[in-house]
């Protein structure tokens, strides 16, 4: 038969985008642009249980999914040309 599916209930989910500055002690620090002033602001958010972050993205622009006040996932945001586009240019001379 089929496997049992476990659903998780959560109250609120949102996301933030910015530069991942630091990962330490079950917390992450993300530099954001303050919407009101346009100045850089620092967001420190706790990590949810069982969340693993690839440390190679520290210093990169990321999107963090926040569920019930904790980071549930961090994914890098691709900046510049899409990887498939740059692969198509290999071997082409101008």
- The predicted-structure confidence for 5-62, as pLDDT tens digits, reads as follows 555 565 778 999 999 999 998 999 999 988 888 899 999 999 999 999 999 999 999 9
CATH 2.40.50 fits 13-76, yes or no: yes
| Number of residues assigned to the chain | 94
Nearest to 29 by CA among 46, 12, 14: 46
Q: Would you kindly state where each structural domain of the chain is located, as residue ranges?
A: 13-76
Tokens of 62: 């990321």
Query: Binning pLDDT at 50, 70 and 90, where does residue 4 land?
Result: low
DSSP three-state, residue 93: coil
* pTM, two decimal places: 0.69
Tokens of 8: 């998780």
């Amino acid at each position: 038969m089929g496997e049992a599916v476990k659903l998780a209930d959560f109250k609120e989910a949102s996301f933030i985008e910015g530069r991942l500055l630091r990962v330490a002690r079950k917390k992450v620090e993300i530099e954001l642009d303050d919407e009101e002033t346009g100045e850089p602001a620092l967001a420190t958010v706790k990590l949810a249980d069982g969340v693993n972050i690839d440390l190679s993205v520290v210093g990169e622009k990321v999107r963090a999914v926040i569920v019930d006040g904790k980071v549930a996932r961090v994914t890098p945001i691709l900046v510049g040309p899409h990887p498939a586009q740059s692969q198509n240019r290999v071997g082409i001379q101008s």
